[in-house]
Amino acid sequence: MVTKRIIPCLDIRDGRVVKGVNFRGVQDVEDPVMLARRYNDAGADELVFYDITASVEGRSLFTDVLRDVARSIFIPLTVGGAIRSLADFDRVLKAGADKVSVNSGAIQNPALIAEAAKRYGDQCVVLSMDVARVDGAYHLFTKGGREDTGIDAMEWAARGEAAGAGEIVLNSIDTDGVKRGFDLEMLAALARRVSVPIIASGGAGKMEDFKALFALPGVDAGLAASIFHFGEVDIAELKRYLAENGVPMRLPRSHND
């Protein structure tokens, strides 16, 4: 049986790890390569690198960071942020990414998912979406969660899956940064709509939140950033806790092996 995945997300700007709370108020955390190694050693199942750089110099720093990580960490690496074209896919895949996550890029160019899936395979294309409730409906947001597109988010996910997205990251703007748990209601709505793996993002504050998450059928992975960066939740401890609670987990081998 495939295990549930725990995925730390590293937001990178100008070669450094940052994390915005509710997408605002950015704090500098740590060296991305060091942090990636620490997470790998703790048993992270995958790493996500999100490029929030605005400048060209920053973009090339990001690619350098990715290459450095891929030379010493041998677990799946997903890259997102600023992916707008096949050339962007190519740039990060050559630097060691295994999967590429598309968000606003797919809103601007709806053909991007299909084109990328055709060239690199479904397994390589991840649809990432920022979603919030608006008047009782789930709306797709763009520009880092600041702008309501008015698009029905569940419809958007179904279209993304049909176009070839191999996984979907659902980031709930309503729970992001609040640390009171994942948006189970929104995730359940997505799980009813798509059959590709779902990665939950936004709202994790403690270990119990992950236990509640994985009790939800159809959710394959939990993604978080600041709670891992600031040591509020330790990945090794979290995975042991989840395994003890019956969640299928890949546990690190003991050092005696």
Partner 1 sequence: MIAVIDYGVGNLFSLSSSLSFLGLENRVTSSEADVRAASRVILPGVGAFGDAMEKLSATGLVPVLKDEAGKGKPLLGICLGMQLLFEKSYEYGEHAGLGLLPGEVCPLEPDLAAAGFSYKVPHIGWNALHLEQPDCPLLANTKEGDHVYFVHSFYAKGCCGALAASAEYGVTVPGVVASGSVYGCQFHPEKSGAAGLDILRAFAAL
Binding site for partner 1 (CB under 8 A): 1-3, 5, 40, 45, 70-72, 74-76, 93-96, 98, 121-123, 166-167, 195-197, 220, 250, 252-253, 257
User: How far apart are alpha carbons 169 and 220 in whole angstroms?
Assistant: 10
Q: Given 51, 130, 209, 220, which residue is catalytic?
A: 130
In the complex, the smallest distance separating the C-beta of residue 53 from partner 1, rounded to whole angstroms, is 21
Cα separation of 168 and 83, whole Å?
15
Q: What are the counts of helices (DSSP H) followed by strands (DSSP E) for the chain? A: 10, 12
Q: Based on CB atoms, which residue is closest to partner 1, 114 or 196?
A: 196
CA gap 68, 154 in Å, rounded: 37
CB of 189 to partner 1, least distance (A): 18
Q: Is 68 a catalytic residue?
A: no
Taking a C-beta distance cutoff of 8 angstroms, is the pair 103, 129 a contact? yes
**Residue number, 158 or 178, with CB nearest to partner 1:** 158
Under 8 Å between Cβ of 225 and 33: no
Strands (DSSP E) contained in the chain are 5-13, 16-21, 24-28, 47-51, 77-80, 99-102, 125-134, 137-142, 147-152, 167-172, 198-201, 219-224
Residue 21 or 243 with smaller CB distance to partner 1: 243
| Residue 174 is among the residues annotated as catalytic for this protein | no
In angstroms, give the least distance from the CB of 223 to partner 1.
14
When the beta carbons of 75 and 189 are compared against partner 1, the nearer one is 75
Query: To the nearest whole angstrom, how small is the minimum distance from the Cβ of residue 77 to partner 1?
Result: 8
Residues labelled as active-site residues = 11, 130
